[in-house]
Amino acid sequence: MLALLPLLAALAHGAVIAPRQTAAQVVRLSSVENVAVRSNGQILATNMNAATLYAVDPVAKTSSTALTVTGATGLSGIGEYAPDVFAVIGGKGIYKVDFTASPPKSSLIRTITEANNLNGLAVFDNSSVLVADAGKGVVYKFDVNTGNYAVVLQDATMAPSGGIPFGIDGIKYRDGVVWYTNIFKNSFHKVAVDPATAKPTGAYTTLWTNLMGDDLCFGPNGKIYVATNSKNSLVEVDPAVGKPTSVGSVTGSTSCAFGRTDKDANVAYVGAGQGVFAVTVKV
């Protein structure tokens, strides 16, 4: 959503929450869209305007090109569905990025030809991911082995609005619940789903409608963290309460992922307009 920041800022009239801390910049990169963390501690960062998947070393505070995803013109959502194997959105295509190979390689799994604007991605299980179509306001369940896919979630809370238009943005799944944002509606939602089919088993529930939300991540403390884009923060959400509390100030925050080593398990790495930042949270 980085390319939409000026418009987002103009359209956003949601709550402003005072931050607890200013995030520390890890590296400077232009327009980071989404982030994921490998088991070796390296951060992977995407950019919707480039097919380059960046590797960030949070200790050395350096960045390099991990690989170029052949066939893609830009990258957005990313998630690890098998050890060191990631699914990444590139336009209308879902790509496999395999770091178990040396050198790492990418390959197109399948194109979702009818897609309008794919953005968020959530790992569902070790053979499928959930892909949010912000332009259509639907969620596809996509099999990473066969390339088969189908719409499994669709609701008014996911519907696009605004001048782009753009709807459901960030999406994550855990323990039978899908959590998602609708960026132009300044809203955050959840829905219980079948753990095999990903189809809804309960009502679509709205948690707030007054704060912009982009992508999100799960913390080590059972909390959910949401990047607020033009609201320039990372907020913490207790799933039992569903209300946001700011934990860090990050200009143009788009996404987050937690560290995976003993030294940074309580550090949220936040993708943003000027690079990758670090916010330490209480565990």
Is residue 24 included in any domain, yes or no? yes
Given a contact cutoff of 8 angstroms between Cβ atoms, the answer to whether 180 and 171 are in contact is: yes
Is residue 86 included in any domain, yes or no? yes
Is residue 264 included in any domain, yes or no? yes
Given a contact cutoff of 8 angstroms between Cβ atoms, the answer to whether 85 and 96 are in contact is: yes
Query: Could you give the number of structural domains in the chain?
Result: 1
Look at residue 208 and tell me whether its pLDDT is greater than 80: yes
The length of the chain in residues reads 283
Is residue 131 included in any domain, yes or no? yes
Here the CATH number for the domain that contains residue 208 is 2.120.10.30
Sheet holding 93-98, edge to edge: 78-82, 85-90, 93-98, 105-111
- Using 50, 70 and 90 to split pLDDT, how confident is the model at 22? confident
pLDDT at position 16 = 47
The amino acid occupying position 91 is: G
Cross-strand bridge partners of residue 59? none
**DSSP three-state, residue 156:** helix
pLDDT digits (tens, 9 = 90+) for 160-169: 998 889 999 9
Tokens read off for 142: 């996509």
pLDDT at position 283 = 82
Look at residue 46 and tell me whether its pLDDT is greater than 80: yes
Look at residue 14 and tell me whether its pLDDT is greater than 50: no
Is residue 77 included in any domain, yes or no? yes
Given a contact cutoff of 8 angstroms between Cβ atoms, the answer to whether 221 and 258 are in contact is: no
Residues of the domain holding 31 = 11-280
Look at residue 3 and tell me whether its pLDDT is greater than 50: no
Sheet holding 267-272, edge to edge: 24-27, 275-280, 267-272, 255-258
Average pLDDT on 222-230 reads: 97
pLDDT at position 205 = 98
pLDDT digits (tens, 9 = 90+) for 257-272: 999 999 999 999 999 9
- Using 50, 70 and 90 to split pLDDT, how confident is the model at 73? very high
Tokens read off for 53: 């998947």
Given a contact cutoff of 8 angstroms between Cβ atoms, the answer to whether 229 and 252 are in contact is: yes
Task: Please state, in angstroms and rounded to a whole number, the distance separating the CA atoms of residues 77 and 28.
Answer: 20
Phi, psi angle pair for 196, to nearest 5°: -105, -40
Average pLDDT on 76-93 reads: 98
Please list, in sequence order, all residues whose beta carbon lies within 8 angstroms of the beta carbon of residue 196, skipping any fewer than 6 positions away.
Answer: none
How far does Cα 83 stand from its chain's mean position? 19
Is residue 6 included in any domain, yes or no? no
pLDDT digits (tens, 9 = 90+) for 124-161: 999 999 999 999 999 999 999 999 999 999 999 999 99
Is residue 238 included in any domain, yes or no? yes
Work out the mean pLDDT of the chain and round it to a whole number. 93
Long-range contacts of 48-57 (CB under 8 A, 24+ apart): 48/2, 48/3, 48/74, 48/75, 48/76, 49/3, 49/74, 50/74, 50/75, 51/75, 51/90, 53/78, 53/88, 53/97, 53/106, 54/29, 56/26, 56/27, 56/29, 56/269, 56/276
Is residue 3 included in any domain, yes or no? no
